[in-house]
Amino acid sequence: MKRLALSLPAALIAFLCSACFTTGGSPDDNPPAGDNRPALTEPIDSGKGEQETLAFGKSYTWEDGVTLTVGKPKKFKPSEYAAAKKAKGYLRFTVTVVNKSDKPLDLGLTYITVQSSNKESEQIFDTDNDLDSTPDTKVLKGRESEFDVGFGVADPNDVVMEVALQDDFERPNLLYSS
């Protein structure tokens, strides 16, 4: 009985090893995932050129009919109850979105970041200055929405903003710069 119990695992191991040898398998025949794609014979054109940087106050319209405008920065002073860290300057921007696409636009998924003097800027939430989060109401076809955002910046004259309307990942992000 002991001999049978010891011989079964040995037979199983021998069978599995022989299967590897008969298929001619080697690690090079089965490269890791991602390495087994066919070689490209010509470059792929993604259709997206270098990203354009817009001046504050300019509008951009995507192919689907959605238009975004980020107004020129305006200085402001945070209220005593604002959620704000100390910064060298505080700027607010009016964001206007016009929806001429075929479907409602969810601005609740909007992502806005600011960099100033090569440092990440913190968004200011200040209800006394009407600086809340992005609107929760969807923008219906043919309608528009306007809201303000504020940021504490290291240099009010050196500002780069990235805006992503993430309800449609096909719509590229926009860059605005002073």
Q: What is the pLDDT along the chain (178 residues), one digit of tens a residue?
A: 444 444 444 444 444 444 444 444 444 444 443 333 333 333 333 344 456 799 999 999 999 999 999 999 999 999 998 988 899 999 999 999 999 999 999 999 899 999 999 999 999 999 999 998 888 889 999 999 999 999 999 999 999 999 998 777 788 999 999 9
Residue 141: CA atoms inside 13 Å, Cβ hemisphere, count?
4
DSSP H or E segment with residue 11 = helix 2-22
What are the residue ranges spanned by the domains of the chain? 53-177
Confirm or reject CATH 2.60.40.1240 for domain 53-177, answering yes or no.
Answer: yes
Global pTM reads 0.70
Contact 156, 75 (CB under 8 A): yes
- Give the SS3 label for residue 156: coil
